[in-house]
Structure 1
Amino acid sequence: MPSAVVLAAGLLPMLACAQAASEAMATQAVDVASAAIDNPYGLQALWAGSDLVARLVLLMLALMSVGSWYVIVVKLIEQSHIGRHAREAQARFWVATDLQQGIEALDAASPFRALANSGVDATRKHDGLLGQIDLNTWVTMSIQRAIERVNSRLQGGLALLATVGSTAPFIGLFGTVWGIYHALTAIGVAGQASIDKVAGPVGEALIMTAIGLAVAVPAVLGYNWLVRRNKAAMDEVRAFAGDLHAVLLAQAAQAR
């Protein structure tokens, strides 16, 4: 029994120390979490400490980023649809017995169907004043107009990407200059130029430049990628239009 009492007496200080250490660790974890939440140098602090101009710059960059990604996603979907319509035209249109059957075999939203309809309408409406134009020239003009409409639809939105890619870095730089100006002004008014007073505000201002680059880089890469994919899609459209032109002239010659 005395040995048990001695053992218990020896364990009590150890348990007390362990409890104290556990409480200290818990307190330290709470302090770290609180510091992470109340970080004076993060984006939240940047927004809270910004004036109207800086907030407008941040909102403008956010809108430009959202618009760029919207255009990229929509154009990729549109280009994939054109690729599917091109494969459909190769599989269905050219195996038809006549042009009307081939047109009806294509999807209603297919640009290749619109091209075929333009060519057929040109051969049917070659009368009156239009009849004075050579049939070859008239059909070529009609198909070319249809090609330009397809190209114009594919090019839609790319101007936004080009604008964002070229202007977003400078908008971010403007936000940086504006933020540094106000940070240095506040430091001058406070009369303190220690590293902790300078690093925070200036670092937050430099975040504007990083945000501008983060907005511009995807826009530039997306623009170049979409332009290259548009070229491939238009090659398919022009190849179809050339074959269609030859078929239309051949049928017109047989009808004479």
Structure 2
Amino acid sequence: MLTTILAAAGAAAPGANPYGLGPALREGGLISQTVFGILVLMSIVSFYILFSKLFEQQKIMGQAKRVRENFWQSNSLREGSAKLEKNSAYKQIVDDGLAAQEQHGKLTDPVEAHDWLHGSLSRSEAAINSKLAGGLAFLATVGSTSPFIGLFGTVIGIYRALIKIGSAGQASIDAVAGPVGEALIMTALGLVVAVPAVLSYNWLQARNKSIARDLSAFSTDVLGFLASGGSVRPTAPGKPGLTKPVAATTTAGQTGGVPTSRA
């Protein structure tokens, strides 16, 4: 495929730029073409990760908005969980909290209910954050290595220029213009691939931290609700506080209340 592209580039009309990308790759041979192919592949994968992660983050941000609007109006966690999307990150936290509450009653070794629930909710948060961070390591790798890959093509181009100078016995413009142009193009390609990857990595990381803060706040609210038998819940969207105790039982299937004393 790459050979076909280069052949088409080589068949340019008379008067076309003899030092463009196509001629440079054709003259550079297999090494330059391989470097170019690697950089193009890195760029494609980087943009795929960028757009897929943006979609994933936007989905969770939309879930957070719906949770703030509707979730805490429910009488119990199970009722609120039923209102959430099937694959919602927030539903996962609620379901994991309810499951931990049920498991606590089956423990034979006394464990503080608060510690058990807190640990279970923390694991749930960590799993979600780990999934959100997937692919970001590749962006960081591209941002740090692609300039050096381009630099490798640059070194090869300079080396070829020196060989032509040595063969010709003099440093004529005609002898070195092609290899030097190839070297500069490879340097530019490395930077073109690296800069978007670094910007994407930093932007996605900042958004992930914002999502992690929202998940942590929601997890704390769920823990307070479970540990108080439903008496503690956010008083307003996103603002935890005390409200009047709701009519609730301490049955695991209802509000999720648990005793806070040691077994």
Q: Residues of 1 paired with 2:168 and 2:175: CA distance?
A: 10
* Aligned AA (2:153): G
Q: Residues of 2 paired with 1:96 and 1:252: CA distance?
A: 11
For residue 60 of structure 1, what is the aligned residue in structure 2? 38
- Is contact 1:41-1:201 (8 Å) kept? no
Q: Which residue among 222, 232, 239 is the counterpart of 2:217?
A: 239
Q: Which residue among 148, 155, 158 is the counterpart of 2:136?
A: 158
For residue 169 of structure 1, what is the aligned residue in structure 2? 147
Q: Which residue among 38, 50, 74 is the counterpart of 1:72?
A: 50
Q: Which residue among 87, 112, 132 is the counterpart of 1:134?
A: 112
- Pair 1:94 & 2:75 matched: no
Q: Residues of 2 paired with 1:133 and 1:190: CA distance?
A: 83
Task: Tell me which structure has the larger Cα radius of gyration.
Answer: 1
Structure with greater helix share of residues: 1
For residue 41 of structure 1, what is the aligned residue in structure 2? 19
* Aligned AA (1:35): G
- Is contact 1:68-1:161 (8 Å) kept? yes
- Pair 1:81 & 2:68 matched: no
Alpha-carbon displacement from aligned partner over 1:134-188 (angstroms, at most 9, x marks no partner): 1100000000000000110111111011111111111111110011102321332
Q: Which residue among 198, 211, 230 is the counterpart of 1:220?
A: 198
- Is contact 1:123-1:252 (8 Å) kept? no
* Aligned AA (1:34): P
- Pair 1:250 & 2:228 matched: yes
CA separation of 1:98 and 1:166: change in aligned 2, threshold 3 A: same
Q: Residues of 2 paired with 1:78 and 1:184: CA distance?
A: 50
Q: Which residue among 69, 79, 82 is the counterpart of 1:104?
A: 82
Percent identity, aligned pairs only?
47
Q: Which residue among 96, 113, 117 is the counterpart of 1:118?
A: 96
**Shift of residue 131 of structure 1?**
5.3
- Is contact 2:46-2:139 (8 Å) kept? yes
Alpha-carbon displacement from aligned partner over 1:2-50 (angstroms, at most 9, x marks no partner): xxxxxxxxxxxxxxxxxxxxxxxxxxxxxx95222xx321111012112
Q: Residues of 1 paired with 2:169 and 2:84: CA distance?
A: 75
Extract unaligned runs of 5+ from structure 1: 1-31
- Pair 1:180 & 2:158 matched: yes
- Pair 1:210 & 2:188 matched: yes
After TM superposition, the structure 1 stretch with the greater mean CA deviation from structure 2, 106-115 or 197-206, is 197-206
- Is contact 2:96-2:120 (8 Å) kept? yes
Alpha-carbon displacement from aligned partner over 1:74-125 (angstroms, at most 9, x marks no partner): 1111110010010111122111121111001000111000000000001111
2:229 aligned counterpart, secondary structure? helix
TM-score, normalized by length of structure 1? 0.82
* Aligned AA (1:240): F
TM-score, normalized by length of structure 2? 0.80
**Shift of residue 252 of structure 1?**
7.9
For residue 196 of structure 1, what is the aligned residue in structure 2? 174
